[in-house]
Amino acid sequence: MASPVTSSLSPSRVAWITLAILSGLNMLNYLDRYVMSAVLTPLQSDLGLTYEGAGWAASAFMWGYFITAPIFGYLGDRLPRKYLMLAGVVLWSLATACSGLAQNFTQLFCIRLFVGVGEAAFVTMGPSWISDLFASARRNTALTLFYVAIPFGSAIGFTIGGWFAEHSTWRHAFVYTGLPGVVLALSLLFLREPRRGEADGITEDVTDQHAAKPREILGLLLNCRYNLLVWGYAAQTFAMGAFGVWGPGFLHQVHQMDLGYAASTFGEILAGAGLTATLIGGFFATWLRKRTPAGYVWVMALSMIAATPICFFAVTVSSGTLSLVGLGVAMFFLFLPTGPITSEIFEIVPVHLRASAVALCTFMIHLFGDLGSPTIVGYVSDQGGGLQHGVLILPALVLVGAVLWTTLIRFTREPLEIQP
């Protein structure tokens, strides 16, 4: 049933309005996620946490996220996505606000779990909704714009969190960033949810006729292309997650930068590098995909190859300014394949498995990626040498991702079909 707000609009305009709303909510998702990174140092001091404990607290939402992502992916291929996503946005927003009320590690960890559950409901279904609105020729561009919200939202989270760290308290940072999401979530009620496979010209309801079976979902783990993509993505996510959590603290503790300045500047650089890279990578991948079946994968592999030496430089150089610049350039290359990654997943799997494939990928990259990376970096840092010693493992993980995605290129040999 069409929404009264969009029923009189053309399908193309409805698609772009929907994309704008989903992208806005995705921005809010990353704002709420990364505000904690900016206030992690005062939070750690106030609650008396070690580096390892702070890493566990920062990654707690990932436990809720990756545990429930497969469930929401399964439901997203069967039930109306709109109301599941609405509930997810409200849940993560309330949990973010309640994070500011935590009095100890246990309370904070439990609250952050619910942030992850809410995010899982939104993130696993958003891309499949977009794939049902935009045909193949425009799908990667649409997904690129959706994922531009990642660096933009992350940067706002760093900036807002940095301001509160310097001028107020870490508790207020959570409360004031979490509550607006409850209101913005209502925008989903005014959207028309597309039929699964609608943009691909499928007229039957694939939910009823070809619902994803558990054995099909598990069968993805035997698909070579899917495995190379996911494990490379996990390596990239490991590095991105650790840099996102420990970046401001690294600049503050290793290079003696003011914490508020380090958080806000890191956020600004993250926004500029991420926004530019996501757009360039997405549009370049769309152009390249028209010329070779491996177009998306070439962008993914080259970005990780370039990021590897730059990451090593950024965490070993003695100059704080050069380290900051190096981190910015490294983030640029790590963000470059953001859109093509999901587009490549949709190239591999059939329509009725899209939400499940994204959900399984989400489960894997967080289980083996950023779920543990902040804690692992914190643990290594606690063993001696501080953060500068702990972050040395990150360039190695980027190199692993480069190798896996370079290998993926030779497995991408299906006939090229471009829709006009």
Q: Is residue 5 predicted with pLDDT exceeding 60?
A: no
Give the residue with greater pLDDT, 1 vs 318.
Answer: 318
Pick the CATH number of 11-189+210-409 from 1.20.1250.20, 2.60.40.1260, 3.30.565.10, 3.40.1410.10: 1.20.1250.20
pLDDT at site 235: 94
Query: How does pLDDT run across 385-399, given as a tens digit for each residue?
Result: 777 788 888 999 999
Query: Is the pLDDT assigned to residue 2 strictly greater than 70?
Result: no
Q: For residue 413, what pLDDT band results from cuts at 50, 70 and 90?
A: low
Segments making up each domain of the chain, as ranges? 11-189+210-409
Residue-averaged pLDDT of the chain: 82
| Position 283 confidence tier, pLDDT thresholds 50, 70, 90 | confident
- Using pLDDT thresholds of 50, 70 and 90, give the confidence band for residue 109: very high
Mention every residue, 6+ apart, whose C-beta is less than 8 A from residue 289.
140, 295, 296, 343
Share of the chain above pLDDT 90, in %: 18
Residue with tokens 């943009």: 199
Q: What pLDDT score was predicted for residue 1?
A: 44
Residue range 136-189, pLDDT digits in tens: 778 888 888 888 887 778 778 878 887 887 788 888 888 888 888 888 888 888
